[in-house]
């Protein structure tokens, strides 16, 4: 959420910056300023009313002590009227504050200067590419056919149990999935991230804290009876550990990692591009989250990008990195890098990670602060990244490592799997 003071002081700059997202923010920002003025005016009237009421209460007490009951009773009638006024003003203040908050929730983060202008994923900038695309046998299969051939993932069984987008991993497929999770966590903890195990359901406040609500409400599974949401990513519960927290400046950086299943409705998704593991309603992901001092957050973002690169190098998968354009940038992000693995059998790139800096946008929603060297409270910066999302990594391994003899296992995963080929 944008800071109100920044909106007051830099309205025109924000309007210009949000044009990169193809958004005309002028009406929303004008509404923010109008509601802010109404809120401040109401607050001033309420403060004056309460001050006058307190002053009269003291006078009434003194009059009663002096035996001037009649004069005191006259003032009591006036205080009664003031109490009614203060109650009305308090309700108006709460209404104005909520309306202001609701409008601020609708405004996305300001893109960093590095974010290119653009309308869609077609305008994202490729900034890095590494790895050789393997030459496969002419009879090479996409991963959903390989899964069936080697009986390692059963998509139809998942449909029977739950519905489309909930696959069942079997035998060596399940062991490979578990191996990837363990390997990702080990890589992250070796890099200094503390492993966390967090709830898979969160309350509404947590959804608002990291920006999934109200922006992605339709994409989240909602447990209505308990008013809880199944998490779309570990970013939500892990980052919310620090909601309403003031941390010490010398605690930076805070680096956390966690594995969770993730749940997304993916409403409206259909077609060949979502076959198999390409898009699921339930999938596994290992996440990294950083809480950083504002002066270090972009250096930390670069470090996270380098960390994810080492994982893909270890897996020996061909990949590229994209800098997302304004039209494809997530609501809460100031700058995002997407990692994509090349699927040789599908002849296309598959997104497997997003690494983002949210600057103070999430922290303002979370009230995640620190005290600087002068004792002044400041907003921290938050970052997160996938390291990695498993479905498309697994798809890339199955497709790129297939041979006539079977599917080879990347060397780095063999100690985790206990086997070197799926045949």
Q: What is the CATH number of the domain that holds 38?
A: 1.10.287.40
Residue where one domain finishes, among candidates 80, 105, 130: 105
**Are the C-beta atoms of residues 136 and 402 closer than 8 Å to each other?**
yes
CATH number of the domain bearing residue 135: 3.30.930.10
Residues 186 and 77 in one domain: no
Q: Which residues does the annotation place in the binding site? A: 233, 264-266, 287, 351-354, 384
Q: What is the pLDDT of residue 373?
A: 86
Residues 344 and 416 in one domain: yes
Q: What is the pLDDT of residue 77?
A: 73
Q: What is the pLDDT of residue 270?
A: 53
Q: Does residue 22 belong to any structural domain of this protein? A: yes
Residues 133 and 250 in one domain: yes
Q: Does residue 130 belong to any structural domain of this protein? A: yes
Q: Does residue 344 belong to any structural domain of this protein? A: yes
Q: Does residue 28 belong to any structural domain of this protein? A: yes
Q: Does residue 110 belong to any structural domain of this protein? A: no
Residue where one domain finishes, among candidates 47, 72, 105: 105
Q: What is the pLDDT of residue 169?
A: 98
Residues 209 and 357 in one domain: yes
**For the chain, what is the domain count?**
2
Q: What is the pLDDT of residue 217?
A: 80
Q: Which residues does the annotation place in the binding site for L-serine? A: 233, 264, 287, 384
**In which domain, by residue range, is 62 found?**
4-105
Residue where one domain finishes, among candidates 105, 131, 159: 105
Residues 97 and 222 in one domain: no
Q: Does residue 400 belong to any structural domain of this protein? A: yes
Q: Does residue 156 belong to any structural domain of this protein? A: yes
**Low-confidence residues in the chain, pLDDT < 50:** none
Residues 126 and 231 in one domain: yes
Residues 196 and 63 in one domain: no
Residues 176 and 101 in one domain: no
Residues 86 and 128 in one domain: no
Q: Does residue 115 belong to any structural domain of this protein? A: no
Q: Which residues does the annotation place in the binding site for ATP? A: 264-266, 351-354
Residues 253 and 344 in one domain: yes
Residues 44 and 163 in one domain: no
């Amino acid at each position: 959420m944008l800071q109100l003071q920044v909106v007051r002081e830099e309205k025109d700059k924000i309007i210009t910056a949000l044009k990169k997202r193809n958004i005309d923010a002028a009406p929303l920002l004008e509404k923010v300023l109008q509601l802010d003025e109404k809120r401040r005016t109401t607050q001033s009237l309420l403060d004056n009313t309460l001050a006058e009421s307190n002053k009269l209460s003291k006078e009434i007490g003194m009059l009663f002590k002096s035996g001037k009951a009649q004069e005191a009773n006259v003032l009591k009638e006036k205080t009664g009227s003031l109490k009614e006024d203060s109650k009305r003003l308090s309700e108006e203040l709460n209404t104005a504050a909520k309306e202001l908050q609701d409008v601020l929730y609708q405004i996305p983060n300001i893109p960093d200067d590095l974010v290119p202008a653009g309308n869609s994923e077609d305008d994202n900038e490729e900034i890095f590419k590494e790895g050789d695309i393997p030459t496969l046998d002419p009879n090479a299969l996409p991963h959903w056919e390989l899964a069936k051939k080697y009986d390692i993932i059963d998509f139809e069984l998942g449909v029977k149990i739950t519905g489309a987008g909930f696959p069942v991993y079997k035998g060596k497929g399940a062991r490979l999935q578990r191996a990837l999770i363990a390997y990702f966590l080990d890589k992250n903890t070796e890099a200094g991230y503390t492993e966390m195990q967090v709830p898979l359901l969160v309350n509404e406040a947590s959804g608002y804290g990291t920006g999934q609500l109200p922006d992605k409400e339709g994409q989240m599974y909602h447990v209505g009876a308990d008013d809880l949401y199944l998490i779309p990513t570990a970013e939500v519960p892990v980052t919310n550990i620090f909601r309403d927290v003031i941390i010490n400046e010398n605690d930076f950086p805070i680096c956390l990692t966690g594995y969770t299943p993730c749940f997304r409705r993916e409403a409206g998704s259909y077609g060949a591009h979502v076959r198999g593991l390409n898009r699921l309603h339930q999938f596994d992901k290992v996440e990294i989250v950083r809480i950083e001092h504002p002066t270090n957050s972009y250096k930390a973002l670069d470090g996270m990008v380098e960390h994810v690169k080492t994982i893909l190098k270890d897996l020996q998968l061909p990949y590229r990195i994209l800098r997302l354009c304004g039209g494809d940038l997530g609501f809460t992000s100031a700058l995002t890098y997407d990692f994509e693995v090349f699927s040789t059998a599908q002849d296309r790139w598959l997104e497997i990670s997003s690494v983002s800096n949210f600057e103070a946008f999430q922290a303002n929603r979370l009230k995640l602060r620190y005290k600087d060297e002068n004792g002044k409270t400041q907003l921290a910066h938050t970052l997160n990244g996938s390291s990695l999302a498993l479905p498309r990594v697994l798809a890339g391994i199955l497709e790129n490592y297939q041979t006539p003899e079977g599917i080879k296992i990347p060397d780095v995963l063999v100690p985790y799997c206990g086997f070197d080929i799926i045949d």
